[in-house]
Amino acid sequence: MDLDYSADELAFRDLVRDWLRAHLPADLRAKVARYRPLARDDLARWHRILAAKGWIAPAWPTEWGGTGWNVVERYIFEEECGYAGAPPLSPFGLMMCGPVLLRFGTDAQKQRFLPRIYQGDEFWCQGYSEPGAGSDLASLRTAALRKGDRYVVDGQKIWTTHAHFADWIFCLVRTSRASERRQEGISFLLIDMRTPGVTVRPLALMDGGHEVNEVFLDGVEVPVENRVHDEGAGWTVAKFLLGHERMNTARIGTSRRELEKLKAYAATRTRAGRPLMQDERFRDRLARVEIELMALSITNLRFLDAFRAGRAPGAEVSMLKIRGTEIQQALTELMMEAAGPLAFALPGADGDPDDVTDALARRYCNYRKTTIYAGSNEIQRNIIAKQVLGL
């Protein structure tokens, strides 16, 4: 097992790092550094910069605009983007729907959707979770009744990230109840958000932000040609998609950046008349998080070494999701502790453009979601126990 980067991989890392330093817009970097909300225009601008470079969809086949990078180079690129403070790319089109279409889509579907996803001309969201069907996704009740060349869809989706930005939504819907097995009779549909009967209502998070939504589908007509894969085979598509989603939740580069920021900030804070970094209990907790992040990085490299050999990710990829998201939460907790009352300051109240404390409380609240999305960490542990450990 080789857990070190080769000379070529180190040279590639330097290439990516230099390019990001030169082309990542300063205002976008500043928004990310200060935890400011990113508008659709912010996300689209960074998307188009990467698309113009040809780096927007590294994992796609080269005939559809992929870079031809190997799995290690793709990981390095993602890590460096996070470390540099680049805005996160919306994953729903690039990393979820795109790979689904490449694996299961018809030629017509690929021609229609993939170029627009690549260029950022159409924004996507994910219609999976429903009231009463979140971690237990197979319990979904949104129904699609086929009438000739169309499905008529009725139901509700919830916690739909960026639905208020989206042009399209990919949805799991129930097209049959004939089987007692809940995973059967589910289909995967692509739905235009401008279709009559689609209603988006905002859900306010406890950080005060508008990021997620309820989506109501009332008699929404969807052409049959917008179904991906066979009718009733949506669970196969869903499992494929979730594997891609969980690979992208560790965010090691972002956590490395936040760890360095935390160390620098804690060095400026005092507690009981001495620097916070001299507080043994705080320093111990900080060291534990840093060690866990190092261990996660090594675990990720073990996966990459397996991918080099051509092995596809299995259920064990859930380890990255579990530890990655828990580390992200731990970092926000320590930053809140370091900031103290300043974490609740109003944005810009102190007039210091470099201050990072004015949004810490909102960030802490927002990051409570990380151990829930993409399958709650409790569910991920069950998956590992059953499919990896055989318990």
Over its C-alpha atoms, the chain yields an Rg (Å, rounded) of: 22
Rounded to 10 deg, the angle between the 280-308 and 71-84 helix axes is 150
Please list, in sequence order, all residues whose beta carbon lies within 8 angstroms of the beta carbon of residue 230, skipping any fewer than 6 positions away: none
CB 73 within 8 A of CB 9: yes
d(CA 299, CA 388): 15
245 is catalytic: yes
| Count of helix runs (H) and strand runs (E) in the chain | 13, 10
Exactly one of 79, 245, 258, 337 is catalytic; name it: 245
Distance of CA 132 to the CA centre of its chain: 22
Distance of CA 211 to the CA centre of its chain: 13
d(CA 128, CA 135): 10
Helix (H) or strand (E) holding 364: helix 360-366
User: 120, 105, 115, 111: which is closest to 170 by C-alpha?
Assistant: 105
List C-alpha distances in Å: 304 to 221, 278, 279, 391. 43, 37, 37, 26
| DSSP letters for 8-43 | HHHHHHHHHHHHHHHHS-HHHHHHHHTTPPPPHHHH
Bridge partners (DSSP) of residue 124 are 168
Kindly tell me the burial class for residue 189, based on how many C-beta atoms sit within 10 Å of its own C-beta (0-12, 13-18, 19 or more). buried
Residues designated as active site: 245
